[in-house]
C-alpha cells in the first residue's frame, strides 16, 4: 500500500491538561508537511485542531478544513487555510472529510473525536473503505480505549482481525511507517459502497 496522500485528523477543540498534547499535535502537523501529505481536519482555529493546522501551514503543507456553517458563525473557523469548505450539517462535514482523505488518525479529543473516528472504524468493518485508522496515544490518552477494544474482542463483539487493523502507538514516525505498509482491508466488503467511495 502506498503512503496516503491526505490524512484526516480528528482531535480536540481544546488543548487538554498537559503541554505534551499541544507539542505532539504541533510535531504531527510539521511531519505531515515535511512528507508532503495534506491535512484534512475540522476547520477550527482553536485547541489541538488549530495547533495541528498551524504547524502544517508553517511547514508549507496543504491544509483543508471542513466546518459546518454554524461554527463559522461563532467565529471558530480558521481563515488562513489552503482551503476552507463550509457545509450545512455535521453529517455533511464528516462525509466530505472522508471523501478528501485516504487515512484517518485520532489525536486526543472528546466526544466529537470519538464519534468521527468510530464512524470510520465502523465503515471499515462494513467494507465501505480500505484505509488505515490509527490512534496517536499521546501521554497514554488512548490506553483505556485500547483496553476496551481488546475487551470487545474477548467478549465476542469485535473480530480479532478487525481489532488488529487499528493502530495504537505514541511514535509519530511509527504511525507514518504503519500507514505506508498497512493492509487495513481485513473484512470483505459486505455492502455496496459505490455511492460513497471505492
pLDDT tens-place string over residues 102-134? 999 999 999 999 999 999 999 999 999 999 999
The 10s digit of each residue's pLDDT in 128-174 is: 999 999 999 999 999 999 999 999 999 999 999 899 999 999 999 99
pLDDT surpassing 70 at residue 83? yes
Structure confidence at residue 194 (pLDDT): 43
- Highest average pLDDT, of 16-30, 66-80, 178-192, comes from 16-30
From 82-86, 101-105, 124-128, 180-184, the region with the lowest mean pLDDT: 180-184
Cα–Cα distance measured from residue 152 to residue 86, given in angstroms and rounded to the nearest whole number: 37
Instruction: Output the pTM of the full model.
Output: 0.90
Which CATH number is correct for 6-181, 1.20.20.10, 3.40.50.1000, 3.30.70.3040, 3.40.50.450?
Answer: 3.40.50.450
The 10s digit of each residue's pLDDT in 12-28 is: 999 999 999 999 999 99
Q: Residue holding cell 493502530?
A: 167
pLDDT surpassing 70 at residue 197? no
CB 98 within 8 A of CB 116: no
pLDDT surpassing 90 at residue 187? no
Confidence of residue 184 (pLDDT cuts 50, 70, 90): low
Ordered by start, the domain boundaries in the chain are: 6-181
Give the chain's mean pLDDT. 91
DSSP assignment of 143-189, as one string?
A: HHHHHHHHHHHHTTSS-HHHHHTEEEES-HHHHHHHHHH-----S--
pLDDT surpassing 60 at residue 185? no
Q: Helix, strand, or coil here: 134?
A: strand
Cα–Cα distance measured from residue 191 to residue 198, given in angstroms and rounded to the nearest whole number: 11
Structure confidence at residue 47 (pLDDT): 96
Cα–Cα distance measured from residue 166 to residue 169, given in angstroms and rounded to the nearest whole number: 10
pLDDT surpassing 80 at residue 46? yes
Amino acid at each position: 500500500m502506498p503512503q496516503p496522500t491526505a490524512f484526516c485528523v480528528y482531535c480536540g477543540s481544546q488543548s487538554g491538561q498537559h503541554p505534551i498534547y499541544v507539542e505532539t499535535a504541533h510535531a504531527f502537523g510539521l511531519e505531515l508537511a515535511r512528507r508532503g501529505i495534506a491535512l484534512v481536519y475540522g476547520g477550527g482555529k482553536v485547541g489541538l485542531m488549530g495547533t495541528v493546522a498551524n504547524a502544517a501551514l508553517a511547514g508549507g503543507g496543504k491544509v483543508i478544513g471542513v466546518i459546518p456553517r454554524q461554527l463559522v458563525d461563532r467565529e471558530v473557523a480558521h481563515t488562513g487555510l489552503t482551503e476552507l469548505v463550509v457545509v450545512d450539517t455535521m453529517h455533511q462535514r464528516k462525509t466530505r472529510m472522508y471523501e478528501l482523505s485516504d487515512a484517518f488518525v485520532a489525536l486526543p479529543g472528546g466526544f466529537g473525536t470519538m464519534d468521527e473516528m468510530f464512524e470510520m472504524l465502523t465503515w471499515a468493518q462494513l467494507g465501505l473503505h480500505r484505509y488505515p485508522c490509527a490512534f496517536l496515544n499521546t501521554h497514554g490518552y488512548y490506553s483505556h480505549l485500547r483496553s476496551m477494544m481488546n475487551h470487545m474482542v474477548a467478549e465476542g463483539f469485535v473480530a480479532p482481525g478487525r481489532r488488529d487493523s487499528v493502530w495504537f502507538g505514541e511514535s509519530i514516525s511509527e504511525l507514518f511507517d504503519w500507514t505506508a505498509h498497512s493492509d487495513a482491508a481485513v473484512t470483505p466488503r459486505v455492502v455496496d459502497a459505490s455511492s460513497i467511495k471505492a
